[in-house]
Amino acid sequence: QVQLVESGGGLVQAGGSLRLSCAASESIGSINNMGWYRQAPGKQRELVAVATRGGRTNSADSVKGRFTISRDNAKRTVYLQMNSLKPEDTAVYYCNADAYYSGRYNDYWGRGTRVTVSS
């Protein structure tokens, strides 16, 4: 069963915007951190941005000032607003969440949503 479902990826022109969404199933329990990673062709997966349940956020230097992460805890959803997109942002973006359920810690990953930025 898929616990994290991403949406919002697509093809955009450089300078354009996309908004990614990731909805978490209630079945995974209480979510601690929730965020986004990406993996570009031929490169390792890297952290893009993360948000805690309490509202703290952090993002990679490469996206600061352009991407904004936010959460709606009631909807168990995390968003990534991506503005001023560059070709180097092209990657598969993965939602990630860590959660506690029945006294155990678990790490969850979405299947990914593809973002392609053309020149």
Mean pLDDT of all residues in 1-5: 89
Please report the pLDDT score of residue 2 as a whole number.
87
How many Å apart are CA 111 and CA 6, to the nearest integer?
Answer: 7
1: pLDDT strictly greater than 90: no
Q: What torsion do the CA atoms of 101, 78, 34, 9 make, to the nearest 10 degrees?
A: 120
Mean confidence (pLDDT) of the chain: 96
Q: pLDDT band for position 118 (50/70/90)?
A: very high
Please report the pLDDT score of residue 11 as a whole number.
98
Please report the pLDDT score of residue 16 as a whole number.
98
How many Å apart are CA 8 and CA 73, to the nearest integer?
Answer: 19
Mean pLDDT of all residues in 58-63: 98
102: pLDDT strictly greater than 90: no
